[in-house]
Structure 1
Amino acid sequence: MMKKGPLLYFSTAILAVSIFTGEGSAVQAEPSTAASFTDTTGHWAESSIVAAVQKGYVSGYPEGTFQPEKTVSRSEFIAMLIRSLGQTPDTGAASPWYTPYVKAATESGYYVAGDFSSGNWSSSLSRQELARIAVRVIGKTAKDNTEYMYMATSNGVLSGTGNGALNVTGTTTRAQTVTVIERISRILQGETLPVDSLAVGNAQKAMNAPKDPWGRAVRTTNLPKNAKDFPYILEEYPNEMYELELPFKGITEPAFKISTPAELYKTDTRIQDKKEMEKWKGNAEAYYKLLLNVDYRTINGKWATDLYSHKNQWNSVGLEEVMTYVKWVKKNKIVAEGSLVVEPSMIFHSKIGGYFIRSKFSFRIKEYNEYKDIFDDLLFNSHQKNDNLSSLGKFQKGQWYYGYSDIDINTNIQGGIPRVSNLASLFTLRSVIHKKN
């Protein structure tokens, strides 16, 4: 029988615990302790990782790593959270595997339908989504996203990502996830946690600021040069993202004329529809969750078919070409990880090019034999010749990068959800990419 409520019961035995991948399959890890991991010694979250493994709600990977910087999906977080609270749903014949955990979270009031911008449980968990659920678990609630973030920071559940930055659309790593879960357990035991005062101040400012349709803070000062091109300017994105060069710059033919987001939000009924925008966003983000996260040890045909399902198949390469890339990943021993968030208030359109939706992304390349076709992106091999990116040279192994790019999306189905075009690339002449410090 499943135990309900925030009962702090943990198994102290170190057991082989299933770790769920973004593809929904279970990878059985060997019994291990955090001390045996090859990638956690000296890590900022080492103590939280030790505690989490000792309590039995998470473990490492078969090769002896914990992969603390690997992004966590929504389903993985819910499963870890429910296990950490001592709830034991029957997962015997569940499909998808995470269904019993979602049911437990729903019955306990931690998860509410509509919490996520799309229904894709394999999408990376954002900090905003993490805050919303964590606040409910500690017995509090809020009226919108900004108040949830304020409650999370003011109760010590979340800290800023540097100088109090909230980074609400940023993804969540395994290290961050177990740290938050450990903080939740301390709060539920009656402990008062220290807070990041800068983050609390930023959260309070955002809570009191004007909001967009998604409840996100809109800023009215320090605006980008082209602020008039957008329906509003969000606190969470820098001016650099807004000021990217537009597609087809300098081309005067009418068919290439770009309609700005401000114009589309006044005239395009699909852009005006919040639920429609969530579908566009969910599809593109699911595509890039797959594209940016590859591992020669686990990639397979399901990865290829899933990636292909998010493409506009009218103008895309065939599935067999995606399968060729899978074979190359295995042969070249490629390991890379990353995440991408698309912003529905930054959509452009032209008759020739279709829709372009602006994105914020990050990635790192961990392993490969030959520096070629690391990602299934048509412009990756030419990025060193790109004037805008050439100063970076080859992307260094293990180095995190972040940037902004416009993603081509379109569809040949009347009224269908625009999917990622075969022409989409993170490495276009307009893209901006930086090293993370």
Structure 2
Amino acid sequence: MKKVLLTSSAVILLLTMADLHATTYALETSASSGETTQSAPNLSSEAVENDKNLLEHFIDISGHWAESSILNAIKQGIVSGYPNGMFYPDNQVTRAEFLKLIAGSFGTEVDSTLSHGLWYEVYVKSARLKGLYSESDFPADDWTKPMSRLEMVHVAVRAIDQKASTDKEFMYIAVKNGLISGIGTGKLDPEGTTTRAQALIILERIQKIRNGETLKVDEVALAKAKQAMNATTDYWGHVIRTTNLPKNSKDYPYILEEYPNEMYEMKPYQAIDTTSIQLSKTDLAYKSKPILDMWKNTTEGYYKHILNVDYRTINEEWANETFSYANQSARRWLADLRRYVEYVKSNKISITGSLIAEPSMVMRSNTFGEYYIRVKFEFTLKTFNKYDYVMFDPYIDYFPIKLKKGVQYEGYADIPLSTNRNDYDLKIDGSTSLFNFGSIVRSSK
């Protein structure tokens, strides 16, 4: 029986220990803006030359906010890039990848003969044997999906030998022990995802706690986690608020703590004639959590592609994956996506962003037979030569404000969902846009 020993020193440190001490909290707050407070290290002429060679090999780390730390880790042999010469520093961490890192951080022996063609099987089984996760932690047994912060918290809390019985309790214990900090003003963001570097920082914190250290605690996030423990929540564990309600609160089955009144009060697209509260009383699809989950995942999956574009890595696979979330009756859509891929390459377009679709804010147009799901989004047009057709969106060029390069924008929109199959497996409709349907788009504060 062949076994492989994974040592923690070769897995847990993406950054050097000195850098981690200084930037653990800065990374979480700076990643979204692309900046870091970390000073560049003093390098010898030989090291500088090595950096140049690495930058030429890993073309997607040049200018990245964590460039110096990534270079440091590569030179030490701690991490490596991908076979295609890319490093993908902002890649989301999947469930399988995080469990592999956990196995390494424990120096766990894994039986490599247990794998049946899937590289991650041994790490998943190892984590299960050590009691680091249970089947109920994940909504589906798909290890290649991005791991949410809540899922990561479940594993991390168990890794420091703590136990909890509910999602809210897991989150509270994680914040109380300094495993995670809040985002912005203490937001817990349970559905958010994590990049490679940030995931390794969580592992470094686990190691510190297991070694008896006491970590800094985000007191604002801790107060919110404690409040959430005692609050009424929806199907997804989001806290429902009962004060400072929007003017049109009667149009929704409940109002969530995490969204501002502005998102609720945004005037819906003129074709919408049935509110969320009306659907909650009469619509069978709206009353089904699995269906709402499907609509949410479809919407977020589509815009994960649209809002994350890089001329250095985009290919036809990006077009095919993006189209998989679309109403399949519009075959011309796929051809347009493939043309956009070539345009991105020639116009040197890169975009980063994210989008959250909210199931409690689903509306319907009975006239057109479409559902609409309200979304909250942010994005930055990082690079482009020509502004025209800079994003795959039919109305961006008609938007009255010309968006600036390097500025982060945020807003809300109603995304239409439709199908050509006469069932509830709705896909993104061909008229979808972040810049139409009465949406709000503005530069972030």
The normalised TM-score by structure 1 is 0.79
Q: What SS does the aligned partner of 1:317 have? A: helix
Higher deviation after alignment, 409-418 or 97-106: 97-106
CA distance, structure 1, for counterparts of residue 265 and residue 111 of structure 2 = 48
- Tell whether 2:404 aligns with 1:395: yes
User: Are 2:410 and 2:443, in contact at CA under 8 Å, matched by a contact in 1?
Assistant: yes
Aligned residue identity for 2:297: G
Provide the residue aligned with 2:211 in structure 1: 189
User: Are 1:341 and 1:361, in contact at CA under 8 Å, matched by a contact in 2?
Assistant: yes
CA root-mean-square deviation? 3.6
Provide the residue aligned with 2:299 in structure 1: 284
Higher deviation after alignment, 424-433 or 231-240: 424-433
- Tell whether 2:346 aligns with 1:338: no
- Tell whether 2:439 aligns with 1:424: no
**Matched residues, number:** 400
Provide the residue aligned with 1:11 in structure 2: 10
Q: What SS does the aligned partner of 1:346 have? A: strand
- Tell whether 2:379 aligns with 1:363: yes
Aligned residue identity for 1:322: L
Judged with a 3 Å threshold, the aligned counterparts in structure 2 of structure 1 residues 64 and 316 are, in CA distance, closer, same or farther, namely closer
Judged with a 3 Å threshold, the aligned counterparts in structure 2 of structure 1 residues 111 and 377 are, in CA distance, closer, same or farther, namely farther
User: Of 388, 391, 396, which residue of structure 2 is paired with 1:372?
Assistant: 388
Runs of 5+ unmatched residues, structure 1: 16-29, 249-255
Aligned residue identity for 2:405: Q
Larger Rg: 2
CA distance, structure 2, for counterparts of residue 93 and residue 334 of structure 1 = 40
User: Are 1:264 and 1:271, in contact at CA under 8 Å, matched by a contact in 2?
Assistant: yes
Provide the residue aligned with 2:202 in structure 1: 180
Q: What SS does the aligned partner of 1:369 have? A: coil
Q: What SS does the aligned partner of 1:180 have? A: helix
- Tell whether 2:310 aligns with 1:295: yes
CA distance, structure 1, for counterparts of residue 116 and residue 261 of structure 2 = 45
Q: What SS does the aligned partner of 1:401 have? A: strand
Matches within 5 A, 1:37-48: 38-39=62-63
Judged with a 3 Å threshold, the aligned counterparts in structure 2 of structure 1 residues 113 and 380 are, in CA distance, closer, same or farther, namely farther
Judged with a 3 Å threshold, the aligned counterparts in structure 2 of structure 1 residues 369 and 411 are, in CA distance, closer, same or farther, namely same
User: Of 266, 276, 286, which residue of structure 2 is paired with 1:244?
Assistant: 266
CA distance, structure 2, for counterparts of residue 294 and residue 54 of structure 1 = 28
User: Are 1:299 and 1:326, in contact at CA under 8 Å, matched by a contact in 2?
Assistant: yes
- Once the two structures are TM-superposed, the CA of residue 153 in structure 1 deviates from its matched residue by 0.5
- Once the two structures are TM-superposed, the CA of residue 271 in structure 1 deviates from its matched residue by 1.4
User: Are 1:336 and 1:366, in contact at CA under 8 Å, matched by a contact in 2?
Assistant: yes
CA distance, structure 2, for counterparts of residue 292 and residue 122 of structure 1 = 20
Higher deviation after alignment, 95-104 or 300-309: 95-104
- Once the two structures are TM-superposed, the CA of residue 433 in structure 1 deviates from its matched residue by 2.7
Q: What SS does the aligned partner of 2:394 have? A: coil
Aligned residue identity for 1:298: T
What whole-Å deviation, never above 9, does each CA across 1:177-205 have from its counterpart, x for those lacking one?
A: 22222111212222221211111011101
CA distance, structure 2, for counterparts of residue 104 and residue 436 of structure 1 = 43
Q: Percent identity over the alignment?
A: 41
Higher deviation after alignment, 125-134 or 51-60: 51-60
Judged with a 3 Å threshold, the aligned counterparts in structure 2 of structure 1 residues 168 and 236 are, in CA distance, closer, same or farther, namely farther
CA distance, structure 2, for counterparts of residue 178 and residue 12 of structure 1 = 8
Provide the residue aligned with 2:363 in structure 1: 348
CA distance, structure 2, for counterparts of residue 427 and residue 284 of structure 1 = 16
- Once the two structures are TM-superposed, the CA of residue 9 in structure 1 deviates from its matched residue by 2.9
- Once the two structures are TM-superposed, the CA of residue 119 in structure 1 deviates from its matched residue by 6.1
Matches within 5 A, 1:8-407: 9-11=8-10, 38-39=62-63, 58-59=79-80, 71-87=92-108, 90=112, 98-116=120-138, 124-248=146-270, 256=271, 258-315=273-330, 317-351=332-366, 352=368, 354-383=370-399, 385=400, 390=401, 393-397=402-406, 399-407=407-415
Provide the residue aligned with 2:40 in structure 1: none
Judged with a 3 Å threshold, the aligned counterparts in structure 2 of structure 1 residues 243 and 104 are, in CA distance, closer, same or farther, namely farther
- Once the two structures are TM-superposed, the CA of residue 360 in structure 1 deviates from its matched residue by 1.7
CA distance, structure 1, for counterparts of residue 430 and residue 232 of structure 2 = 37
Runs of 5+ unmatched residues, structure 2: 15-52, 56-60
User: Are 2:11 and 2:79, in contact at CA under 8 Å, matched by a contact in 1?
Assistant: no
CA distance, structure 2, for counterparts of residue 54 and residue 186 of structure 1 = 24
What whole-Å deviation, never above 9, does each CA across 1:118-161 have from its counterpart, x for those lacking one?
A: 66656554333332332232222323222221111001011112
- Once the two structures are TM-superposed, the CA of residue 420 in structure 1 deviates from its matched residue by 0.9
CA distance, structure 2, for counterparts of residue 56 and residue 363 of structure 1 = 33
What whole-Å deviation, never above 9, does each CA across 1:321-358 have from its counterpart, x for those lacking one?
A: 22111111122122222221211111001121511111
User: Are 1:10 and 1:56, in contact at CA under 8 Å, matched by a contact in 2?
Assistant: no
